[in-house]
Amino acid sequence: MAVAFSEKTKERFKAILAKYPEKGAALLPAMWLAQKEFSVITPEVEEYVAKLLGVPLVRVHEVLTFYTMYAAKPLGKYHLQLCTNISCTLLGAEDILEHLKDKLQIGAGETTPDKKFTLSTVECLGYCGTAPVLQVNDDFHENLTTKKVDELLAKLK
Partner 1 sequence: MPTLTIDDQQVTVDQGTTILEAAKKLGIAIPHFCYHPRLTKVDACRMCLVEVKDAPKLVTSCSNAVRDNMVVFTGTPKVEEARKSILEFILINHPLDCPICDKAGECTLQDYYFRYSSQPSRFKDNKVEKHKVVDLGAKMVLDSERCVVCGRCVRFCREVVGEENLGIFNRGDHSEIGTYPGKKIEHNYQGNLVDVCPVGALTAKDFRFKCRSWLLCKADTICPGCSNGCNAVVHFTLRSFNGIKGQRVFRLTPRENNDVNKIWLCDVGRWGYSFVDSIDRLTTPALKKGEDFVKGDWDTALRETASGLKTVVERYGPSAVGVIPSPHLTNEDLYALKCLFSCVLKVANIDFKLPGLDKGEGDKLLLKADRHPNTRGAELLGLSGTGLSAEAMMEKVKTGEIRALYLAGSDPVKYIGEKAEEALSRAELLIFQGTNFSASCKLAHVILPGATFVEKEGTFTNYQGRLQKINKALEPLGEALADWEIFTRLGKRLGAYPSYRCAEEVFKDMAREVAPFNGLSYQKIGPQGIKIADSSQ
25 scored as a contact of partner 1 (CB under 8 A)? no
Per the rule left: phi > 0, alpha: psi between -120 and 50, beta: everything else, 143 is left
Question: Which one of the spans 9-17, 57-65, 107-115, 128-136 is the region binding partner 1 (CB under 8 A)?
Answer: 57-65
Q: Which of 16, 42, 59, 108 binds partner 1 (CB under 8 A)?
A: 59
Segment 65 to 124, residues that bind partner 1, using CB under 8 A: 65-67
Q: Which of 11, 39, 56, 86 binds partner 1 (CB under 8 A)?
A: 56
Task: Measure the CA–CA gap between 97 and 80, rounded to whole angstroms.
Answer: 10
Task: Measure the CA–CA gap between 157 and 154, rounded to whole angstroms.
Answer: 7
Site residues (vs partner 1, CB under 8 A): 43, 56-59, 61-62, 65-67
